[in-house]
């Protein structure tokens, strides 16, 4: 399967949030384990006009990775117990990222179950904090490039635009009205936090 090059990430954040669906995220861990998962849910975050974005008030020690090269991993810790994983977008100097909210496990499933200490495959990565735990993604991965051999994306099976749905983002209070969440309608591995509107209610970029 083809590894995605840096060119892939030089697209607008919202478009990337859709294009990332179906792509395969690969993590070759330091202990020799290899984790693979297909992305089925994303959320876009942009500094401009988006109060929910970490970079809305400018660059800080934490969010400086968001200002880096597109295709960089931005991992941060929140709620005292969860790592969340983003892929940096927009040209260098402009803050933007796509939060990976859910994935469908493809490889290393037994290791993921041990990492999460659960048995049900469908619950392994159906939430942003869950997938980092399953794939052993930590703050050590913050700032890593997706053109490295440790973490990268592979060309997966592209979903038809008709199954890509959009909704408001989840778990935030600021800029909560933006329809910047993208997910695969009906996919069992999408997070269950809140049901979105029926598919097709809002046009996605790929449809229009």
Partner DNA sequence: TGTAAGATCTAG
Partner DNA sequence: TAGATCTTACAA
What does the binding site for DNA look like in residue numbers (CB under 7 A)? 43, 45, 52-54, 57, 60-63, 66, 74, 76-82, 84, 86, 97, 99, 116, 118, 123, 127-130, 169-174, 191, 193
Rounded CA-CA distance 12/62 in Å is: 23
Nearer to DNA by C-beta: 138 or 158? 138
**Smallest gap from residue 1 Cβ to DNA (A):** 26
CA-based max dimension of the chain: 45
- Pairing relationship of beta strands 96-107 and 82-88 according to DSSP bridges: antiparallel
Nearer to DNA by C-beta: 92 or 207? 92
**Smallest gap from residue 205 Cβ to DNA (A):** 19
Instruction: Please report, to the nearest 10 degrees, the dihedral formed by the alpha carbons of residues 170, 66, 55, 176 taken in order.
Output: -20
**Smallest gap from residue 21 Cβ to DNA (A):** 16
Identify the helix (H) or strand (E) that includes residue 164. strand 164-167
Nearer to DNA by C-beta: 142 or 165? 142
- The CB density around residue 97, as the number of other CB atoms within 10 Å, is 29
Rounded CA-CA distance 204/37 in Å is: 23
Nearer to DNA by C-beta: 80 or 160? 80
Nearer to DNA by C-beta: 36 or 50? 50
**Smallest gap from residue 2 Cβ to DNA (A):** 27
CA angle 172, 18, 122 (to 5 degrees): 70
- Residue 58 backbone class (left: φ over 0; alpha: ψ -120 to 50; beta: rest): left
């Amino acid at each position: 399967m083809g590894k995605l090059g840096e060119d892939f990430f030089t697209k607008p954040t919202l478009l990337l949030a859709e294009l990332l669906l179906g792509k395969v995220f690969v993590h070759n861990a330091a202990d020799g384990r290899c984790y693979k998962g297909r992305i089925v849910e994303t959320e876009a975050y942009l500094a401009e006009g988006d109060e929910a974005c970490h970079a809305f008030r400018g660059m800080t020690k934490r969010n400086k990775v968001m200002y880096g090269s597109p295709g960089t991993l931005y991992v941060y810790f929140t709620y005292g117990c969860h790592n969340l994983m983003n892929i940096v977008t927009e040209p260098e100097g402009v803050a933007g990222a796509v939060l990976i909210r859910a994935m469908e496990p493809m490889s290393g499933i037994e290791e993921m179950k041990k990492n999460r200490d659960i048995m049900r495959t469908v619950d392994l990565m159906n939430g942003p904090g869950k997938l980092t735990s399953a794939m052993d993604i930590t703050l050590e991965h913050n700032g890593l490039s997706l053109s490295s051999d440790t973490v990268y994306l592979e060309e997966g099976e592209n979903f038809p635009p008709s199954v890509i749905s959009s909704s408001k983002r989840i778990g935030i209070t600021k800029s909560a009205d933006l329809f910047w969440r993208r997910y695969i309608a009906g996919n069992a591995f999408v997070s269950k936090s809140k049901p979105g509107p029926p598919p097709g209610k809002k046009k996605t970029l790929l449809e229009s």
